[in-house]
Amino acid sequence: MDSDTRQSRIVEFARTRGRVDVASLATELDVASETIRRDLKVLAGRRLLKRVHGGAVPLETAAFESGVEYRSQVDLAQKHRIAAAATGLLHGAETVYLDEGFTPRLIAERIAEQELTVVTSSLLAAEALAHSRTVTVLLLGGRMRGRTLATVDHWAVDMLSSLVIDVAFLGTNGISLEHGLTTPDPAVAAVKGTAVRVARRPVLVAAHSKFGESSFCRFARIEDFEAIVTGQELGAEEARRYEELGPVLIRV
């Protein structure tokens, strides 16, 4: 098997499984561990994978975006901590926007007993609030994206543009000092960017693995956010560099 074919298979495995490790790849592809390490270095340089201890995970690009199942398994404990901390930032809000993604779904579960109006593009978040007796849910219309179970396109943007939201909890596929907040899909970027603009207090909820990464479409600047909630896995020095741009950064 030539190196191009082997590397293509490694990327495919990573995107299907969520993570690959050197030892398993070496056995599966019948090559030396050092060969796999060189392959991972090449793929990381091409920004298709991100190296982690013992292996690699896929990076999201315009051609690849992780789905709901993968997101519900990665950084799970951290996402629960982030969701808990995020709900403490409501501060009397009456209207809340919940973005697509798994962490906003966890926030939805935690606010189900509060007196709120929740606007969301996420079927996952709406489902979590379906039986709440106290939350009024407004689900944005539009085309549903099967990968994330969320609505996009002009129906969603037009509806959201007409609202004023107290607090918006948003996720991102990547956040970097150079490029700000990014996502692979222009349609998703349009909805996210609109949510940032109509919210009095935009709050980013993102696992540490999103930091230092960038994707295809920028939808906001770091300074557009009042607060960023992430895991304590993000280093203090790196956190300080983001906080210097304006938002309060909360590591939990």
Around 26, how many Cα atoms within 13 Å sit in the side-chain half-sphere? Answer: 12
Q: Is residue 63 part of a domain?
A: no
Identify whether 140 is part of a domain.
Answer: yes
How many domains is the chain partitioned into structurally?
Answer: 2
Selection from 184, 202, 201 nearest residue 15 by Cα: 184
Asked whether residue 176 is domain-assigned, the answer is: yes
Q: Note whether 234 and 168 are same-domain residues.
A: yes
52 in the same domain as 154? no
Residues 94 and 189 both lie in one domain: yes
186 and 92 both lie in a single domain: yes
Domain boundary among 33, 58, 83: 58
* One domain, residues 190 and 221: yes
Question: Are residues 192 and 95 part of one domain?
Answer: yes
Question: What is the pLDDT at residue 67?
Answer: 64
Please indicate, yes or no, if residue 179 is contained in any of the structural domains: yes
Q: What confidence tier does 246 reach under pLDDT thresholds 50, 70, 90?
A: very high
- Please indicate, yes or no, whether the overall pTM of this predicted structure exceeds 0.95: no
Is the model more confident about 213 or about 223?
223
Considering the domain architecture, whether residues 72 and 178 belong to the same structural domain is answered as: yes
Q: For position 134, what pLDDT does the model report?
A: 98
Task: Compute and round to an integer the Cα radius of gyration of the chain.
Answer: 19
Residues 38 and 136 in one domain: no
Amino acid letter, residue 104: P
The pLDDT of residue 69: 66
| Average pLDDT over every residue of 55-72 | 70
Residue 161 is assigned to a structural domain of this protein: yes
Q: How far apart are CA 118 and CA 129, in angstroms?
A: 9
- CA angle 49/55/60 to nearest 5° reads 20
Mean predicted lDDT score pLDDT of the chain = 93
Residues 183 and 243 in one domain: yes
197 CB-contact burial (10 Å; exposed 0-12 / middle 13-18 / buried 19+): middle
Cβ 219 vs Cβ 194: under 8 Å: no
The CATH number of residue 190's host domain is: 3.40.50.1360
Whether residue 165 contacts residue 119, with contact meaning beta carbons closer than 8 Å, is answered with: yes
**Residues for the chain: how many in total?**
252
What is the span of the domain harbouring residue 226? 68-251
